[in-house]
Structure 1
Amino acid sequence: IMEIGLERGFRTAFGEMIIMQLQLSAVFFTFSLGTKVHYYGRTILHGGAKYRATGRGFVVRHEKFADNYRMYSRSHFTKALELMVLLIVYQVYGSAAQGSVAYVLLTGSFWFLVISWLFGPFIFNPSGFEWQKIVDDWDDWKKWISSHGGIGVPANKSWESWWDEEQEHLQHTGFMGRIWEIVLSLRFFIYQYGIVYHLHVANGDTGIMIYGLSWLVIVAVVIILKIVSMGRKKFSADFQLMFRLLKLL
């Protein structure tokens, strides 16, 4: 505002600011910061700095949902969902913000960041809310998510190949990079610890047994998902009925 105000007048500066906000420039700026933060942090932890094309041209082409997911999943979507869960937990169990006004004042900027990171690519995607485009994107997404990876299968054809590429930096990082990655991942155990002891099933009990039971539930869920994943790959067509019954259970 000060720069435009000194050059063209403050009335023009305020008008430009209002127009920029109506064009959702704040959403775009917040989303672009997520990209910079993600790759800056990854480079500090694991190295491997390289040029990332940003596509500075005027874009009028519709990008499919699968393309947006591959591009922004690790840098924006997963972080936004994690922050959203924390905000919900804070609203349910937090004691600092008892009223709705206090909660909005304390967490309003964080909710804006979550919305920007989750919906930014779709808001600025041409024809992003056209029904036929949505149907086509959904079909392309199902085809991509159900395709198996392997040698020679590109990331835009299979979810497994894309996942391997996303985890490739962990194979070439140093010892300290792996240590810091593990330390940062330990935050999920802190989330679990805090949530478990606030659930009604705990009944105010803070013993270690409650935390151990929560681990048994997590292990059981992981085992079931592993069985389903292995069954999808190994069961032949003759055992599809039994496999579907197993999934139902």
Structure 2
Amino acid sequence: MFEAKVASGNGEQVLSRDVYRLGHRLDFFRMLSFFYTTVGFFFNTMMVVLTVYVFLWSRLYLSLSGVEKAANSNNNKALGAILNQQFIIQLGLFTALPMIVENSLEHGFLQAVWDFLTMQLQLSSVFYTFSMGTRTHFFGRTVLHGGAKYRATGRGFVVQHKSFSENYRLYARSHFIKAIELGLILTVYASYSPLAKDTLVYIAMTISSWFLVISWIMAPFVFNPSGFDWLKTVYDFDEFMNWIWYDGGLFAKAEQSWERWWYEEQEHLRTTSPWGKRVEILLDLRFFFFQYGIVHHLGIAANSTSFVVYLLSWIYIFVAFGIFLLISYARDKYAAKEHIYFRLIQFLVIIVGILVIVVLLQFTAFKFSDVFTSLLAFIPTGWGLLSIAQVLRPLVQSTWLWDSVVYVARLYDILFGVIVMAPVAFLSWMPGCQSMQTRILFNEAFSRGLRIFQIVTGKKSGNI
């Protein structure tokens, strides 16, 4: 929260007249000093993350468009070498060299290397990568939309377990969703890139990107005391689902109701300029590229590269939305008093869906695996439509579509929550992870005392 507040404040400074005038009237060297001691740190951090985005989206385009396949052929060895040589810098070690050199001058080379290894064992890189995402999100959002505000950070006791729902509220939009997006790009790239068939080449190209994804998802739980305790994980997930389905309306607090939190996350869009809305919609259009690239690789497309294939794929979007509206109408009308009709409609929808799949398998080039592959295309498209609907909220909220937008957004947050919770639950179930996490976070004496306390009392402390 503190870094979010500082990053938002620096975003407002970028938009201020004072920074504009100082930038124009200072000489070059004083301007550089001013830049790197104020807004420059946040601007450079944002550029690093944007570079990762551009790099991954470019690689995704090269793989889905067939350029990499052509470059990987025997007739294009030179082009393939040009595309692949640059990724030696992705090792990430070069960014740590200045710190090692500085420590070498102060403490000696061996001590500098030892300090560097100690920092890695304490997961300092994970924490820094996560904080980099915080600065990028809030700085970029403030520059685009404005709306920096005071955030009460508090001065409470630090060693306290934070629930999953609280972590999700704080980091869903700034870290989790972006990490899932980058992870989806890397997964699709691994599925369709000919270079990914060589495991060593794929790891060398994407290891730093996967580290970014893992850090943005796992850092809040790695540095959360008792974050990998199985009982706490189960209780946290139950609390998360109760928060998602809480029916308190808009009068509830964001800590109690998902709907209230969802509306609060859109407040910056209500006060943004028309240009801010246009840029936001333009950025949301990137989610449609998943569908555009993947549908041409489905079996039913029969290797066609025509734009008509993409247009026809929207039929499935409209059909899925129509089924959703039908189920929603049946639930509201029959689920309470005439439950048998609601079950009948659900049964008929399932039967019709199975018949459609059978017909497609029989009379077209449709493959059963296309059902699962298409999810990689249509789920991002749905999120893109939701994001655009939030920008156009003043126009959509007064129509019958808004209730469906809210309900689908709730389902997406459940999906994102399950994706984030899955590795946390796995590490909580694995023996030894909780003890290892406690040893990383605390010193040896405190870790031993905490373990003895848990054994003696036979229960977990609510504040640890």
TM-score above 0.5, yes or no? yes
Q: Which of the numbers 34, 46, 50 marks the counterpart of 2:149?
A: 50
Tell me the equivalent position of 1:201: 300
- Which whole-Å CA distance do the structure 2 matches of 1:29 and 1:145 have between them? 30
- Which whole-Å CA distance do the structure 2 matches of 1:80 and 1:165 have between them? 22
- Render the CA deviation track for 1:109-167: whole Å, top value 9, x for unaligned: 11111111111111111111112111211221111011135232111111111111111
- Render the CA deviation track for 1:189-248: whole Å, top value 9, x for unaligned: 222111111222211112333212211111222333344456656666214443355456
Q: How many aligned residue pairs are there?
A: 249
Q: Which of the numbers 8, 11, 27 marks the counterpart of 2:126?
A: 27
- Name whichever of 88-97 and 63-72 sits farther off: 88-97
- Which whole-Å CA distance do the structure 2 matches of 1:159 and 1:234 have between them? 24
SS at match of 1:218: helix
Q: Which amino acid aligns with 2:202?
A: Y
Determine whether 1:111 maps to 2:111: no
Q: Which amino acid aligns with 1:123?
A: V
Tell me the equivalent position of 1:166: 265
Identity in percent: 52
Tell me the equivalent position of 1:11: 110
- Which whole-Å CA distance do the structure 2 matches of 1:230 and 1:70 have between them? 30
- Name whichever of 1-10 and 120-129 sits farther off: 1-10
Tell me the equivalent position of 2:242: 143
- What's the C-alpha RMSD, in Å, of the aligned pairs? 2.2
The unaligned stretches of length 5 or more in structure 1 are none
Q: TM-score, normalised by structure 1?
A: 0.90
Written as runs of structure 1 = structure 2, the 5 A alignment for 1:129-140 is 129-140=228-239
Does the 8 Å CA contact 1:30/1:117 hold for their aligned counterparts? Answer: yes
- Which whole-Å CA distance do the structure 2 matches of 1:22 and 1:166 have between them? 35
The unaligned stretches of length 5 or more in structure 2 are 1-99, 350-464
- Name whichever of 85-94 and 5-14 sits farther off: 5-14
- Which whole-Å CA distance do the structure 1 matches of 2:220 and 2:331 have between them? 32
Written as runs of structure 1 = structure 2, the 5 A alignment for 1:169-188 is 169-188=268-287
SS at match of 1:117: helix
- Which whole-Å CA distance do the structure 2 matches of 1:26 and 1:128 have between them? 19
Q: Which of the numbers 201, 211, 218 marks the counterpart of 2:317?
A: 218
- Which whole-Å CA distance do the structure 1 matches of 2:133 and 2:328 have between them? 32
Q: Which of the numbers 163, 166, 173 marks the counterpart of 1:67?
A: 166
Q: Which amino acid aligns with 1:116?
A: S
Does the 8 Å CA contact 1:149/1:159 hold for their aligned counterparts? Answer: no
- Which whole-Å CA distance do the structure 2 matches of 1:76 and 1:62 have between them? 20
Determine whether 1:76 maps to 2:162: no
Q: Which amino acid aligns with 1:92?
A: S
Does the 8 Å CA contact 1:144/1:159 hold for their aligned counterparts? Answer: yes
SS at match of 1:40: helix
- Name whichever of 96-105 and 17-26 sits farther off: 96-105
SS at match of 1:197: helix
Q: Which amino acid aligns with 1:67?
A: E
Q: Which amino acid aligns with 2:219?
A: G
Does the 8 Å CA contact 2:330/2:345 hold for their aligned counterparts? Answer: no
Structure number with higher helix proportion: 2
Distance 1:77-1:227 versus aligned 2 partners, 3 A rule: farther
- Name whichever of 224-233 and 147-156 sits farther off: 224-233
- Name whichever of 94-103 and 170-179 sits farther off: 94-103
SS at match of 1:48: coil
Distance 1:9-1:244 versus aligned 2 partners, 3 A rule: farther
Does the 8 Å CA contact 1:46/1:177 hold for their aligned counterparts? Answer: yes
Tell me the equivalent position of 1:189: 288
Instruction: Report which structure shows greater RCO (CA 8 Å, sep ≥6).
Output: 2
Distance 1:57-1:152 versus aligned 2 partners, 3 A rule: closer
Q: TM-score, normalised by structure 2?
A: 0.50
SS at match of 1:237: coil
SS at match of 2:250: coil
**Larger of the two Rg values belongs to structure:** 2
Tell me the equivalent position of 1:242: 341
- Name whichever of 235-244 and 156-165 sits farther off: 235-244
